[in-house]
Structure 1
Amino acid sequence: MNDRLGRIKALWRKANAFAEEAYNAPYRSAIARAKRDQDDLFMLMVYSELMGIPNPASFYTLELQPLMLERFHEWHIRMGMEHSPLDNIRCC
C-alpha cells in the first residue's frame, strides 16, 4: 500500500512539474524582457547618481508625496518603529 501511494505521489509531482512548465513557457520571454528593462532602469539611475546628474523622477513624483506619507506611516508602525526612521520625513 505504501509503495503504491509513493508511486502515485511521484506521478503527481511529475504531472505538476509538467503542467507548471507548460503554463510558464509562453511567458518566459516577457518575464525576461521585463527583468532586463528593470535592470536597465536601475543601471541608468545608479549611473546618473554616480555622475551627479539630478534624478528627474523626484520632481515628477513630488505630487505623490501626500499619498505616500500615509502609507509610509502605516509601514513604519507595522515594522515596529515608533517614529519615522528618516530624518526628512516627519509623519508622526
Structure 2
Amino acid sequence: MTPAHGGAQRRERRSRRWGALRDGLQEFYTGPYRRTFLREQRDEDDLFMIVVLGEALGVPDPAAYYSAELLPAVWDDFHAWHTRVGIPRSPLDHVACC
C-alpha cells in the first residue's frame, strides 16, 4: 500500500465519521419537531391551494391571472386537499374528482 493510498482511506473514514455525526445531530435536533414541521408544511400547502384556487372558489383575487398559471401544479393534490379540509365533494363545478 502506498502512503497516498493510506491517506485517501483515512480521509474517507474521517468523511464517513463526520457524515454520521452530522446525521446524528440533525436527528437529535429535528427529531422531536418532525411532526410540527410536517403540520406546518401541510398548512402552508393548504394556504397555497386556497390562493391558487381562490378565484375558482369565488374569492376575489387581484392576482388571478398569475395564479391561474399554477393550476396544473395543484391538480394532482386537489382531491386530498378538499377531503382533508372537510369538503366531501369537489367544490369546483368544472372539476369532478370524486
Give the TM-score, by structure 1 length.
Answer: 0.48
**What's the TM-score, normalizing by structure 2?**
0.46
The structure with the largest helix share of the pair is 1
